[in-house]
Structure 1
Amino acid sequence: MKNKVLRHKLLIVSIFIGWIGVTINPLFDSVTVTSDYDLTNHRLGLPLPVIEQHTSLTPLEDAYPFELGFVSPLEHPTTLIAGNYLILVVTAVFAVYLILFGIVSLYKRIR
């Protein structure tokens, strides 16, 4: 019974960590913008793009190249790429669960 409760706790913690990690990921991503980059479909997220921002930015010709990260969603409409988001959350939850399960198993062996 205790083992079953521990697995549920590990799963809940894994879901929380995986979900938070994937959700805040685009905030720390940036893209190098060149003159041929489509600013109207600015995609952010690693390793797959998770959000797409439809920007109306028009930089000057001599401004290229520059780094562009997450811009205000109030000024630039932002959409979630649901398929990529779901794939990344499931992958992150699985990876975190395996890591936590391994740590718990090692801790039990040492003890």
Structure 2
Amino acid sequence: MLKRYRLLMISIFIGVIGISITPFFDSVVVTPDYDLTKHRLGLPLPIIEQNTWLTPLDDAFPFELGLVSPQENPTKILIGNYLLLVVAAVGTVYMILVWMKGLSKRIR
């Protein structure tokens, strides 16, 4: 029982950290139609939304935009997407760890 609890805690840690860092690796190609006031980042679903104050020049399009400074641009977490992704990641990691534990017992 204690080992399954440890596996669950490890899974939660990996799931939360893994999902929380995805906006740092995501970027969006900005075109003239793109709404910069709702700049969303995260993989595979957006988990943060930034209200950017950028006003690019007309000849700057298209350009790639990633995470901008949250101190200068209001940022909010899309809690529904975040929780959905964390639960999915925790479940997946937990199943993989239980499978690896079972496999290691069979090998011995």
TM-score by shorter chain over 0.5 = yes
Size of the aligned set, in residue pairs, is 108
Q: Given the alignment, which residue of 47, 52, 73 partners 1:50?
A: 47
Match of 2:5?
8
2:62 is equivalent to residue 61 of structure 1? no
Moved beyond 3 Å, runs of 4+: none
2:35 is equivalent to residue 38 of structure 1? yes
SS in 1 for 2:29: strand
Gaps of 5+ in 1: none
Q: CA deviation at 1:27?
A: 1.0
Amino acid at match of 1:106: L
TM-score by length of 2: 0.98
| 1:46-67 Cα shifts (integer Å, max 9, x gaps) | 1111000000101111111111
Q: CA deviation at 1:5?
A: 1.1
Amino acid at match of 2:88: T
TM-score by length of 1: 0.95
Percent identity among equivalent residues?
65
Separation in 1 of the partners of 2:100 and 2:63? Answer: 42
| 1:50-109 Cα shifts (integer Å, max 9, x gaps) | 000000101111111111000000000000000000000000000000111111110010
Gaps of 5+ in 2: none
Separation in 1 of the partners of 2:105 and 2:63? Answer: 50
Separation in 2 of the partners of 1:105 and 1:56? Answer: 52
Could you say what the CA RMSD is over the residues aligned between the two structures, in angstroms?
0.6
